[in-house]
């Protein structure tokens, strides 16, 4: 590029069939490669397919007498996909190249912003994505899923080794099932209660002394305490059973929501540490999330739950899925003047893929063919 000329770096997509420039420039330079034109093209150029995302700079040669017809405003290029807003600015150098010819550059901005409609682009993503982690450290003993498998909330994904806990559980269950100590305490209490009840009338008739009565009462109260202790120990044994079962459950990694396993981070026999507890990556795809950033003016006219007009790339075609606003940020970014809008797309059959391009169209936007 000639020193002193203003650089410009618009992007061009091979889906754009043509660029229209009037008057016709002498040549286009695409990333340093000269692309010669001729008058027969009348300023309409068909960029080669290998020019995707290339810098396009058009050098124009004009007759002095043609300067009055040189573009000073805007020219619109008609495309089959959408209108392209083409900025044509001819910067003439201070000295002629030859005779009455002047040379300058035409800067072609291939931004895909239509004159009569606004399109905001984003990408779909899972409604939820979780790095499902183990709550304890240990060795992976079982993995119940494979990558790509669908799971339901609560399904077991993997297990850590819990052999020692299994042994402890069996012992606790035996203790919890054995109520012999309680039955023995109940029998003793029954006997001592009968003795206490029988000795009091004997004392009234003078056939027993007060010491015997006092001993009978003490023995009864002691048996009553023994029974309460036996019952408490039995209850604690049952609680131990539940506590150990909970520990075993904590060594199982379960799905927190319905979704698809996209990645396994551990294999059988590997040890999970507290510094890296993530076992699998789980995503929810029956609904997709699309995040847009709109101007404060546009956001003020929107409400949560409102249906919106979106276009989603589905393979080789654009479709209009069912979509609604899930969240509107109450905060406007002071730098960009935009606020976040979260839109949810229903995807019960998982037809649409996460990561697909998506467009937000205003009420005047036209559908993409």
331 — pLDDT class (breaks 50, 70, 90) = very high
Q: How far apart are CA 279 and CA 131, in angstroms?
A: 7
Q: Tell me: the pLDDT tens digits for 46-100?
A: 555 444 444 444 444 333 333 333 333 333 333 333 333 333 333 333 344 444 4
The answer to whether residue 144 sits within a structural domain is no
**What pLDDT shows up at residue 219?**
79
Q: Does residue 136 lie in a domain region?
A: no
What is the 3-class SS of the chain, one letter each residue?
Answer: CCCCCCCCCCCCCCCCCCEECCCCCCEEEECCEEEECCHHHCCEECCCHHHCCCCEEEEEEEEHHHHHHCCCCEEEECCCCCCEEEECCECCCCCCCECCEEEEEEECCCCCCCCCCCEEEEEEEEEEEEEEECCCCEEEEEECCCCCCEECCCCEEEEECCHHHHHHHHHHHHHHHCCHHHHHHHHHHHHHHHHHHHHHHHHHHCCCCHHHHHHHHHHHHHHHHHHHHHHHHHHHHHHHHHHHHHHHHHCEEECCCCEEEEEECCCCCCEEECCECEEEEEEEEEEEEEEEEEEHHHHCCCCCCCECCEEEEECCEEECCCEEEEEECCCCCCCCCEEEEEEEEECCCCCCCCCCEEEEECCCCCCCC
Full residue range of the structural domain in which residue 241 is found: 162-250
- Asked if the structure places residue 271 within a domain, the reply is no
Within a domain: 272: no
Shared domain check, 303 and 243: no
Tokens 């002498």 label which residue?
Answer: 26
Q: Model-level pTM greater than 0.75?
A: no
In this structure, the answer to whether residues 188 and 221 fall within a common structural domain is: yes
Specify whether 98 is located in the same domain as 172: no
Which tens digit of pLDDT belongs to each residue from 168-184?
Answer: 998 888 888 777 777 78
Q: Are residues 222 and 293 in the same domain?
A: no
Is residue 36 situated within a structural domain? yes
Of 72, 107, 142, the residue at which a domain comes to its end is 107
Do 240 and 167 lie in a common domain? yes
Domain assignment present for 208: yes
Per the omega criterion (within 30 degrees of 0), is the bond before 23 cis? yes
- The pLDDT value given to residue 208: 65
146-155, 167-176, 240-249, 299-308: segment of lowest average pLDDT: 167-176
124 and 187 share one domain: no
Which of residues 101 and 195 earns the better pLDDT score?
A: 195
d(CA 279, CA 136): 11
Whether residue 141 is contained in a domain is answered as no
Residue 7: C-alpha distances to residues 29, 105, 178 (Å): 12, 10, 89
């Amino acid at each position: 590029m000639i020193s002193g000329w203003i650089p410009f770096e618009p992007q061009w997509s091979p889906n754009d069939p043509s660029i229209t420039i009037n008057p016709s420039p002498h040549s286009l330079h695409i990333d340093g490669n000269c692309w010669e034109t001729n008058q027969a093209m009348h300023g309409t150029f068909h960029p080669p397919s290998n020019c995707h995302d290339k810098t396009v700079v058009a050098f124009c040669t004009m007759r002095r007498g043609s300067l009055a017809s040189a573009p000073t405003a805007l020219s619109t290029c008609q495309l089959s996909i959408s209108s392209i807003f083409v900025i044509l600015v001819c910067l003439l150098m201070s000295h002629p190249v030859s005779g009455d010819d002047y040379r300058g550059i035409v800067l072609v901005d291939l931004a895909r912003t239509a004159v009569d409609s606004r399109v905001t682009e984003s990408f779909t993503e899972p409604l939820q994505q979780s790095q499902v982690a183990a709550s304890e450290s240990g060795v992976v003993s079982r993995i119940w899923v494979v990558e790509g498998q669908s799971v339901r909330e609560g399904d077991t994904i993997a297990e850590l080794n819990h052999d020692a806990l299994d042994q402890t559980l069996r012992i606790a269950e035996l203790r919890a099932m054995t109520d012999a100590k309680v039955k023995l305490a109940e029998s003793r209490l029954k006997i001592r209660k009968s003795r206490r009840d029988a000795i009091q009338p004997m004392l009234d008739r003078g056939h027993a002394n007060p010491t015997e009565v006092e001993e009978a009462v003490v023995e009864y109260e002691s048996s009553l305490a023994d029974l309460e202790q036996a019952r408490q120990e039995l209850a604690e044994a049952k609680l131990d059973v539940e506590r150990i079962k909970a520990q075993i459950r904590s060594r199982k990694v379960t799905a927190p929501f319905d979704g698809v396993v996209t990645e396994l981070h551990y294999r059988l026999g590997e040890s999970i540490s507290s510094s890296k507890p993530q076992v699998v990556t789980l995503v929810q795809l029956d609904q997709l999330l699309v995040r847009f950033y709109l101007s404060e003016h546009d956001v003020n006219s929107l409400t949560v739950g409102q249906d919106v007009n979106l276009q989603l790339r589905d393979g080789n075609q654009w479709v209009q899925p069912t979509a609604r606003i899930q969240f509107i940020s109450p905060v406007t970014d002071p730098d960009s003047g935009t606020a976040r809008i979260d839109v949810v797309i229903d995807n019960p059959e998982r037809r649409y893929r996460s990561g697909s391009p998506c467009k937000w169209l205003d009420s005047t936007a036209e559908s993409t063919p």
